[in-house]
Structure 1
Amino acid sequence: MLDETAKGVFTIAATPFLPDGALDFESLDRLVDTYAEKGADGLTILGMMGEAGKLSADESLAVIKRVIGRSPVPIVVGVSAPGLAAMSALAGEAMQAGAKGVMVAPPMGLRTDAQITGYFHNVAEALGDIPFVLQDFPLATGVQISPSVILQIVADCPTCVMLKHEDWPGLEKISTLRKASDAGARRISILCGNGGMYLLEELLRGADGAMTGFGYPEMMRQVIDACHAGELDHARDIFDAYMPMIRYEAQPGMGLAIRKHTLAQRGMIAHPTLRKPGAGLSAAAIAEVDALAARQKRRLNDLGL
């Protein structure tokens, strides 16, 4: 089961589609294999990057079973839903299929600390003994969760074992949470998103790793390993080589299309299709991504990677 000691790289997996929008299971198999080869310690599926909201219930379960049956690393399943009944049902099916935990984001509309705390109390009750990840992504959800609220949820809900940290800016939040755990609060795992944009600083502030879907998942593995080895300058050099692509990927509304283009160019999936509604990249954007990829490759060759 997923627990508070989780660390390293939990890659957020894309969901591959054929050009007509149907699920592409062959690409899904290849993607799972490649994520593991690139150093993933775990995979998170059916998150926002996985276009979970565009899948039917049957499709979601099919993806869950296919990934769990293929993956050599633990799987966390996104189960966020407008209602607790749907969330609980998907979570139960995921765990029965072999998932190690689930991830839950707060629904839009929560505004007060009491509303947020009350919501996650209800989540913990609905999920029972299933361990869950609290996804803190205000850029997407519009829900601002303060460190004190996170600490209250962690204190009240023993099955909350991880924070998916995607606040922006959020480095001070990590520091505040780690100072609290150093002072005696329950320490949970913190894995960070935002496409890896702040990964190095997040690690130095006390994060345990990354949970994001950058199109070059090996970047997280390389940076984390160098950082843990005490080779901070080398970690910075690696990060700097990828930074232009990370920056470009970070464009709101375009990130997933850019990532899927990259995954397709690398042969990890067959098609860069986003399921509708969702647009692809213009010819100009594709040229920009490809130019960044070529320059990135040269810089990595200089580093011997």
Structure 2
Amino acid sequence: MPLLSEDAKGVYVITVTPFTESGEVDWDSVDRMVDFYEEKGVTGLTILGQLGEAPKLTSEESRKIAERVIARAHVPVVVGVSAPGLAPMRELADSVMGMGAAGVMVAPPWTLKTDDQVYAFYASVAEALGKTPWVLQDYPLTTNVTIAPKVIDRIVRDLPTCVMLKHEDWPGLAKIGALRATSERGETRRISILCGNGGLFLPEEMRRGADGAMTGFCYPEMMVGVVENFARGDENRAHDIFDAYLPLARYEQQQGIGLASRKYVLAKRGVIASPTLRKPGASLSKADIADVENLLARQARRLTEIGA
């Protein structure tokens, strides 16, 4: 599988981690999940992210999941390797790259407070990872680390193994525009920008210069449809598809039960056997399930109306 590059485009879906009802990794569901995402047309997979419940996994489980997914996938796989220290980060990165991963993703630790600290951290990451291509995960709503466009530009100029930005700032549309402006002026390389936040702003992000999505949603075909139609120049069709799925995507972005609702729908679709989150984790109430079922019914009717 080719290595991740700054030309990457499309949808690199953030995968869930399937668990049995007793909280063990469900390996059969892992296989089924990989097949499902590929059948829906994703460009790549991103595993061991925050919504993949990576912090709840042991180091051995993380390696085994990476090995299983990489061996089964026919698309590039990016692996989240964020860790409190560089040594475990490098250890996991070396391991998954040896398995055939396309690249790795690194989020900043919450302790970073200044621009210089952010730059110094990623300079250390680049040194520790050597030739491994990596994704800068910019998700201040979770990490509490704000990375200004000028800092990202500096990282891109100085650290050639940074090939992608996972843009997950909110509001962040102006940031995409600022980053694209500096590359268009020739002041920095043009790297890939894939966006997160459940795809809630995907059409606007594409219009500002994003190359696609790197996020999760129980209907990855929404993101695939939006990105493919933008690539064809059919923004109206992209918006029609997006609008049909938006109510459910919005529901999925709730703190606490968002991931539980995503897993509920994936289980309902037959992708994973159980919607279980590993403890500590939320579960849906009867009222929550009624909400989701109502949204699914309305979504189905709307998709029929637009012929999608």
TM-score (norm 1): 0.99
| Range with greater deviation from structure 2 (19-28 or 278-287) | 278-287
Aligned residue for 1:21? 23
Aligned residues: 305
Alpha-carbon distance in 2 for matches of 1:256, 1:153? 32
Q: 2:266 aligns with which of 263, 267, 290?
A: 263
- 1:98 is aligned to 100
Question: Quick one: which amino acid aligns to residue 189 of structure 2?
Answer: R
> 66, 69, 83: which one pairs with 1:67?
69
| 1:113 matches 2:115 | yes
Amino acid at match of 1:265: K
Match for residue 161 of structure 1 among 156, 160, 163: 163
Which piece of structure 1 moves more, 249-258 or 236-245?
A: 249-258
- Read off the aligned partner of 1:196 and give its amino acid letter: G
Letter in 2 for 1:126: A
Q: Report deviation, 1:254.
A: 2.2
Asked if 1 retains the 8 angstrom alpha-carbon contact of 2:256 and 2:282, the reply is: no
Distance in 1 between residues matched to 2:272 and 2:300, nearest whole Å? 20
Q: Distance in 2 between matches of 1:30 and 1:116?
A: 38
Q: Which residue type is aligned with residue 288 of structure 1?
A: D
Which residue of the partner structure matches residue 2 of structure 1?
A: 4
How far 1:253 sits from its partner (Å)? 2.3
Determine if the alignment matches structure 1 residue 31 to structure 2 residue 33: yes
Q: For residue 267 of structure 2, what is the amino acid of its counterpart? A: A
Residue equivalent to 2:50: 48
In 1, Cα distance between equivalents of 2:238 and 2:47: 27
Of 245, 248, 269, the residue aligned with 2:248 is 245
Q: How does 1:114-129 map to 2 (within 5 A)?
A: 114-129=116-131
Q: 1:195 aligns with which of 180, 195, 198?
A: 198
Structure 1 segment 273-288 matched on structure 2, within 5 A = 273-288=276-291
Match of 1:289 in 2: 292
Q: Which amino acid aligns with 2:96?
A: A
Q: Following TM superposition, by how much is the alpha carbon of 1:199 offset from its aligned partner in structure 2, in angstroms? A: 0.2
CA distance in 1, matches of 2:267, 2:85: 34
- Measured after TM superposition, the shift of residue 226 of structure 1 is 1.3
1:194 maps to amino acid: N
CA distance in 1, matches of 2:234, 2:81: 37
| Correspondence list, 1:209-228, <5 A | 209-228=212-231
Q: Which runs of 4+ in 1 moved over 3 A?
A: none
1:152 maps onto 2:142 in alignment? no
Counterpart in the other structure of 1:303: 306
Structure 2: tracts of 5 or more residues without a match = none
Give the 3-state SS of the residue equivalent to 2:52 in structure 1.
coil
- State the SS of the aligned residue for 2:165: strand
Give me the whole-angstrom Cα distance separating, in 2, the residues matched to 1:152 and 1:254: 37
Question: What TM-score does the superposition give when structure 2 sets the normalisation length?
Answer: 0.98
For the residue of structure 1 that corresponds to 2:198, the secondary structure is helix
Q: Cα deviation per residue 1:90-129 (whole Å; 9 max; x = unaligned)?
A: 0000000110100000011111001100000000000011
1:79 is matched with which residue?
81
Q: 1:139 aligns with which of 134, 138, 141?
A: 141
- State the one-letter code of the partner of 2:38: A
Partner SS state of residue 49, structure 1: helix
Q: 1:302: how far off? A: 1.1
* Equivalent-residue separation in structure 1 for 2:219 and 2:260 (angstroms): 14
- Once residues 75 and 44 of structure 2 are traced to their aligned partners in structure 1, the CA distance between those partners, rounded to angstroms, is 5
Deviation of 1:233 (Å): 1.2
- After the TM superposition, which of the residue ranges 245-254 and 90-99 deviates more from structure 2? 245-254
* Percent identity of equivalent pairs: 61
